């Protein structure tokens, strides 16, 4: 009887411990006189366990200790590395290959046995952690020892070290710091120990770097991009002609429409009035509906395209884009088109025309400016770094050589001169201006578009006298510009190439002299003749021609051994930017459009209203890119898909250091002032 009671009590309390250790013994009052409890006390006394008679509630815990001592030993728990074998899903974030060939059977019941394999966590200087399993006598590995499966497996791992999850280090105060800007980026992105996921990813590829060709993934927004600038062509019959033109019009990735508040079409990049009249009417109706509710429509999305609307007095300017640009970037482009209209009419003339008659047809006053508007629109479609950054690019020459050019401009200046510029291959060489006055970058972009994109001025040859309004300087009146071209190539009389892209300007040097006096043509022509002779005499013209023929340096020439393939650096103080050559990685129009689309994405992210991070690191299948914004500069750079964060950060730092060394060569600081 006593022996049976002992077995019963041990079994009962042993099961209780297994179930979570809850005390299920009866209350103290009910234990008195129970023979089972008394026999249990006797049994535990024989084992050397002392139980106070006055505390019967302790019998439960005593029985649990008794049951624990009679449990059979359990087999060791298997190592965590076994889970990482090929064919099993990894959720632990480790990258070591297990040496065991099969996973042992697990215990079917609950266990508290300890595994013989220890789990260690190692922290790296960049803030990441790696978890690995090792025995007591092993040491942490210095780097991952193997690769498990394909790369696709790492995309869905919650413990992957390659993720871009936010951390405290991601919020480095780059705007408030007073030290060197280069060190800030190094603290955010640089690390002495590379993240294991990067090393793991790089081991997947034994072939040469595929970024040498920089192939982008085709998508709907870029397919058939080469046909974007083709004119619409019709079919044989009238009905087929209209249907074919409509299909071609809808296939365009970007449209610009300008209409009056009365719904009169003024300009459209693709198609004629018969084709777009229905769309013009719908857009005008939508805008009027919102204005009737005292609400201005700024934009909407439909059919995968972004519609951005800008109202400027009596004009509505509409941009329709499928190229991934945001509203702010499209508004800058619409603003440039509006400035192009003002450069022809001036604001008082435009206001007067619509004040007298709201249904005025503005196409007659703007007759002849369609090539300028179309050239500007095509520049935006191809991608324009000056428009994206709202900055100018300068021709790189030595500081002493630029100073000689500035002195020559000042020495040959006539009394009626307001502004004097020397522009080579679309890049500013030198400028002479009045003190406390400077040309707005948007005005200079209009001038460059007229000279190097539309090619209407160069088609006339010789010299040109052009009245124009510079809205950034004064939108209420005209200035008068004298333009003369000098060839920068060795040969002369070369025919312009109609198939050239936006960055391959003619090797032309333009001398621009601007005056507020419409009778100053002969004075400015005399100044131009004297200026060219002086520049030839002091070899400045030869220096300019040599710089034009040399072109932009490659990224590897700027930073030897860099992983960068291209970058844009903007000096905020000077409102100027510099960039390397597109060669050899961006040789086609489509590659450059995709590169500019990537820059547009980076620019939009760091300049968003709610953006707090001024350093953004973007990883794509075909590239790795970086955006870095400080009060002094903006830097956008692109590298190959295998480049690490550390290498990208180091290259970005070297670009900043290079610009600081070459600042007075790549930028115009002050210019010639009188």
Structure tokens at 126: 């960049």
Which CATH fold would you assign to the domain 184-197+553-666?
Answer: Beta-Lactamase (3.30.450)
Q: What's the rounded mean pLDDT across residues 420-438?
A: 91
Query: How far from the centroid of its chain's Cα atoms is residue 630's Cα?
Result: 15
**Longest CA–CA separation in the chain, Å:** 132
| Per-residue pLDDT at 423 exceeds 60 | yes
**What is the mean pLDDT of the segment spanning 621-625?**
91
The reported pLDDT for the residue numbered 181 is 39
On whether the CB atoms of residues 259 and 316 are closer than 8 A, the answer is yes
The string of pLDDT tens digits covering residues 193-213 is 344 444 444 444 333 343 344
Predicted confidence (pLDDT) per residue in 457-478, tens digit: 765 557 889 999 999 999 999 9
Fold of the domain built from segment(s) 225-382 = Beta-Lactamase (3.30.450)
- The more confidently predicted of residues 569 and 165 is 569
Specify the 3-state DSSP secondary structure of 47.
Answer: coil
Q: Do domains 225-382 and 389-493+502-551 have the same CATH topology?
A: yes
pLDDT for the residue 238: 59
Strands 392-393 and 576-578: parallel
Partners of 514 in the beta sheet?
419, 481
Helix (H, G, I), strand (E, B) or coil at 284: helix
Q: Cβ distance 365 to 342 under 8 Å?
A: no
Domain ranges of the chain: 2-69, 184-197+553-666, 225-382, 389-493+502-551
* Displacement of CA 45 from its chain's centroid (Å): 78
pLDDT tens digits, 315-374: 999 999 998 899 999 999 999 999 999 999 999 999 998 888 888 888 888 888 888 999
Q: What is the mean pLDDT of residues 549-574?
A: 94
Closest CA to 169 of 150, 144, 157, 186: 186
pLDDT of the residue at 239 = 61
Overall average pLDDT of the 67-92 stretch: 52
Kindly state the average pLDDT of the residues 583-597.
Answer: 91
Assign 113 a pLDDT band (cuts: 50, 70, 90): very low
pLDDT at 435 over 90: no
What distance, in Å, lies between the first and last C-alpha atoms of the chain? 120
Structure tokens at 143: 């780097």
- Please classify residue 268 by burial: count the beta carbons closer than 10 Å to its beta carbon, then call 0-12 exposed, 13-18 middle and 19+ buried: buried
- Please name the helix (run of DSSP H) or strand (run of DSSP E) that holds residue 65, with its range, or none: helix 59-69
Q: For residue 412, which of 534, 512, 517, 519 has the smallest C-alpha distance?
A: 534
pLDDT at 651: 95
For residue 320, give the H/E element and its range: strand 315-321
pLDDT per residue over 164-193, tens digit each?
A: 333 333 333 333 333 333 333 444 444 433
Q: How far is CA 17 from CA 14, 71, 73, 300, 372, in A?
A: 5, 12, 16, 65, 87
DSSP string for 368-404: T-HHHHHHHHHHHHH--HHHHHT-EEB----HHHHHH
| pLDDT attached to residue 80 | 45
Give yes or no for residue 90 having a pLDDT over 60: no
Write down the pTM of the prediction: 0.67
Model confidence over 488-526: pLDDT tens digits?
665 444 444 444 444 444 568 999 999 999 999 999 999
Average pLDDT over the chain reads: 73
Instruction: Write down the residue that tokens 């209420």 correspond to.
Output: 476
Distance CA 492, CA 545 (A): 13
Q: What CATH number is given for 389-493+502-551 in this structure?
A: 3.30.450.30
For residue 233, the model assigns a pLDDT of: 67
Residue 270's pLDDT band, with cuts at 50, 70 and 90, is confident
| Cα gap 551→328, rounded to integer Å | 31
4-38 confidence digits (pLDDT tens): 444 444 444 444 444 444 444 444 444 444 444 44
């Amino acid at each position: 009887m006593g022996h049976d009671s002992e077995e019963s009590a041990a079994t009962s309390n042993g099961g209780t411990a297994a179930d979570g250790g809850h005390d299920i013994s009866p209350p103290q009052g009910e234990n008195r006189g129970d023979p089972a409890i008394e026999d249990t006390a006797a049994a535990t006394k024989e084992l050397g366990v002392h139980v106070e008679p006055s505390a019967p509630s302790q019998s439960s815990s005593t029985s649990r200790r008794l049951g624990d001592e009679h449990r059979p030993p359990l087999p060791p728990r298997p190592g965590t590395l076994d889970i990482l074998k090929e064919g099993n899903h990894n959720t632990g974030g480790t990258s070591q290959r297990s040496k065991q060939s099969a996973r042992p059977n697990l215990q079917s019941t609950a266990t508290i046995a300890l595994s013989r394999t220890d789990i260690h966590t190692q922290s790296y200087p960049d803030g990441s952690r790696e978890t690995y399993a090792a025995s007591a006598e092993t040491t942490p590995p210095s780097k991952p020892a193997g690769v498990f499966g394909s790369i696709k497996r790492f995309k869905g791992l919650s413990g992957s070290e390659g993720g871009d999850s936010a951390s405290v280090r991601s919020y480095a105060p780059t705007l408030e710091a007073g030290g060197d800007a280069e060190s800030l980026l190094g603290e955010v992105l640089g690390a002495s120990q590379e993240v294991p996921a990067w090393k793991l990813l790089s081991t997947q590829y034994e072939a040469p770097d595929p970024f040498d060709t920089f192939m982008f993934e085709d998508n709907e927004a870029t397919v058939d991009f080469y046909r974007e600038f083709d004119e619409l062509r019709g079919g044989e019959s009238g009905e087929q002609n209209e249907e074919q033109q409509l299909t071609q019009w809808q296939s365009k990735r970007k449209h610009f429409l300008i209409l009056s508040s009365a719904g009169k079409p003024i300009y459209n990049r693709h198609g004629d009035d018969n084709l777009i009249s229905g769309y013009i009417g719908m857009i005008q109706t939508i805008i009027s509906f919102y204005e009737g509710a005292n609400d201005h429509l700024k934009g909407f999305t439909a059919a995968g395209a972004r519609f951005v609307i800008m109202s400027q007095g009596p004009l509505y300017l509409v941009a329709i884009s499928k190229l991934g640009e945001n509203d702010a970037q499209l508004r800058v482009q619409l603003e440039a088109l509006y400035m192009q209209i003002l450069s022809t009419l001036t604001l008082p003339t435009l206001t007067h025309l619509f004040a007298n008659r709201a249904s005025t047809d503005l196409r007659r006053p703007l007759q002849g400016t369609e090539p300028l508007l179309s050239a500007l629109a095509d520049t935006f479609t191809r991608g324009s770094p000056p428009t994206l950054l709202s900055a100018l690019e300068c021709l790189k020459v030595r500081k002493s050589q630029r100073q000689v050019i500035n002195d020559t401009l000042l020495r040959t200046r006539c009394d009626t001169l307001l502004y004097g510029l020397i522009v080579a291959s679309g890049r500013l060489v030198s400028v002479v201006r009045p003190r406390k006055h400077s040309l707005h970058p948007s005005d200079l972009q209009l001038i460059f578009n007229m000279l190097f994109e539309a090619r209407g001025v160069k088609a006339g040859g010789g010299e040109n006298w052009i009245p124009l309004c510079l809205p950034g300087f004064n939108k209420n009146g005209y200035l008068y510009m004298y333009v003369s071209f000098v060839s920068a190539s060795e040969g002369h009389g070369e025919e312009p190439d109609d198939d050239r892209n936006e960055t391959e300007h003619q090797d032309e040097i333009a001398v621009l002299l601007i005056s507020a006096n419409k009778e100053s043509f002969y004075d400015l022509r005399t100044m131009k003749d004297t200026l060219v002779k002086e520049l030839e005499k002091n070899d400045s013209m030869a220096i300019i021609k040599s710089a034009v023929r040399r072109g932009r340096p490659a990224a590897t020439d700027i930073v030897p051994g860099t992983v960068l393939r291209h970058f844009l650096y903007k000096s905020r103080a000077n409102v100027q930017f510099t960039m390397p050559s597109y060669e050899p990685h961006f040789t086609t129009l489509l590659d450059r459009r995709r590169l500019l689309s990537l820059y547009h994405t980076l620019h939009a992210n760091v300049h968003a209203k709610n953006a707090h991070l001024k350093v953004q690191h973007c990883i794509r299948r075909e590239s790795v890119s970086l955006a870095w914004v400080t009060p002094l500069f903006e830097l956008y750079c692109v590298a190959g898909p295998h480049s690490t964060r550390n290498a990208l950060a180091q290259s970005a730092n070297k670009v900043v250091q290079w610009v600081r060394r070459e600042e007075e060569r790549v930028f115009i600081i002050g210019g010639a002032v009188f």
